[in-house]
Every structure is written in structure tokens, then in C-alpha cells.
Amino acid sequence: MTTSTIANQQILRINGNGGSGNVLASTGGTTGPSWVSNSNGYAISPNVTVNNNPSSLEVNGKIIHNGQDLEERLKTIERVLMIPERDPELERQYPKLKKMYDEYINQLEKYRTWQRIKNGSE
């Protein structure tokens, strides 16, 4: 993550240096958005934070990518692939739940692989 100044605008880039990288935010001079920098990362707004260690992007709200709600898209993918819903809070309280989930996913993939081999499809 780097910042640079171009034409009096600070630009925040992810995985880039110099002129490369994806522009995440720009101060846009005096009228555009701005962010607050600290040793942990950048607060772009009350709802968007970029953290340094570990690297992460926190968004409290919807992420729209090419006109589609990313969370809805992921839910659809999970439903179509029949991926069981996880509950991180319960998994913290009952570590056996996480172990059982991991075992289930591992076994499910073995059966699916066997079915692909048996049916001759990929």
C-alpha cells in the first residue's frame, strides 16, 4: 500500500508503487474524499478502513462490483455449491463444530472427486 501526490491530490494505492497499483481513494484536492492515516492503516470513511498488519480491507456496508452486490453473489454461490453456513461465534464456543465442518468439507470433496473419476468427467 502506498500513497503518492499527483496534482495536489493524495492517492492511496493497494499493492502498487510509483504509478502502478489500484487506486483505492483520492483526496481529490479540497472537495474530494479524504482519509486519516495512522500506524495501523487508513480510515477512508467511518465505514471503510484499510489495515496494514495484517493487511485487510474492512467495509461496513455493501460492496457493489460491476453492479452486483458482492455479499448476495457469494450467498448464491454458497447455496448453489451447497456449502454449509458457518457460525464463527458458535465455533469459538464449541471448537468441535469447526473440526466437524472441516472434516465434512474434506470428505465431501473426496466423494465428489470419486464421482468425477467414476463418471469420466472433470
Per DSSP, the residues of 36-73 read EEETTEEEEETTEEEETTTTEEEESS--EETTEEHHHH
User: What pLDDT, in 10s, does the model give residues 96-112?
Assistant: 999 998 998 899 889 98
Nearest to 55 by CA among 88, 5, 15: 15
For 14-40, what is the mean pLDDT? 51
pTM of the model: 0.45
Contact 3, 52 (CB under 8 A): no
CA gap 55, 73 in Å, rounded: 24
CB 34 within 8 A of CB 41: no
